[in-house]
Amino acid sequence: DGRLQGLKPNTTAVQLQTSCLMSQSDTCQCTGQKTTTHATLLPTGRFATFQVPDEIPIPQMKNEALYIILKIGAVMIVIIAGVLIYRRRKGSIALSKTRRRKTVFNEYGMEENLGVFLKAYYSDSFGKESSRPWDVVTMEELPPRLENNEGQYIKLQDVLPEAGETLFLEGPPGSGKTHLAQILVSSWTEGRTNLIDLSTLRLLVHVDCSSVEGELFQEVMSQLSLMNKTTADELRTVLTRCSEALLLLDGYREGSRTFDESLKRFLSERGGCRLLVLASPANCPTLKAACGTGRILRLETQTV
């Protein structure tokens, strides 16, 4: 054959009744394996010659077509994967922007809602303690003497801390610290009055420190009935990010370890939140040391 191997053909011929001759040829290689079998029907008196190749080649066009199809499929897969990755990244970026906008919206929305709620709460609670609006309080009812560190008289407007500032307002018992706190809260609740302008404040959070025991924001939540309005973490987030917020500690006295430590933590992360501490002298030395540069105002009793 074409491989230079010896073949052992076995040919038989049979005469059929239809005057045809059937010829069958079996070709075997040297190994004894049969490779081809051929049968031919021919009318008697005729002959035919045919040749069977050693190997029947596979058409190359089929292989090339398969290769082209696979190549095109691979390219399409790469393109589709690229498009999916691009859309996924684009969607992630858009989702991130949406979440940031939603977070900012929620913060401003919660801040506004909290301000509305606090004003309504203060109006109900402090309004019951006074039979007339605070904007008609006479000058004689105001704290008698407000002094700064140098002993100079100051205006009531000066008790409002700047953004991010801590201000201590000290005075002996009976000097009118709590009365001053009520004036501040009521002035903010009712809007601009002839006493003090607190219109720049979006939030005023008043804390009665006379009997605090728990953590700072838990006390705020409990005292101002905010349990069903927000959470302690959300309230902390709003105050730390708002420079138009004032935290007013009325009658603060060191001694409650839980409250004192939570207050120090808040001071370290408060951002622009303002802090006004009303206390008797020598009642908050640790807090003043922690604040360092905090201003100190003094509220003196009137002498005759």
Q: Where are the domains of the chain?
A: 1-53, 124-300
* CATH number for the domain whose boundaries are 124-300: 3.40.50.300
Alpha-helical regions (H) of 226-292: 232-240, 257-269, 285-291
The pLDDT assigned to 34 comes to 45
What does the pLDDT read at residue 253? 93
160 within 8 A of 196, measured Cβ to Cβ: yes
What is the Cα–Cα distance from 225 to 23, expressed in whole angstroms?
110
Q: What CA–CA distances, in Å, run from 124 to 86, 119, 130, 227, 254?
A: 56, 9, 11, 18, 30
3-state helix, strand, coil in the chain (%, to 5): 45, 20, 35
pTM, two decimal places: 0.61
Taking the CA of residue 131 as centre, how many other CA atoms within 13 Å lie in the half-sphere pointing to its CB? 0
Q: What is the per-residue pLDDT for 154?
A: 83
According to the model, what pLDDT value does residue 35 have?
A: 46
Q: Write out the chain's pLDDT in tens, 304 residues.
A: 445 556 555 566 555 455 554 555 554 444 444 444 444 444 545 545 555 555 555 555 566 777 788 888 888 999 998 888 988 887 766 555 444 433 333 555 778 889 999 999 998 887 655 544 444 444 445 555 788 877 788 888 899 999 999 999 998 888 888 888 998 998 999 876 677 889 899 999 999 999 899 999 999 999 999 988 889 999 999 999 899 999 999 999 999 999 999 999 999 998 899 999 999 988 989 898 888 766 888 877 654 4
Structure tokens at 91: 């969607």
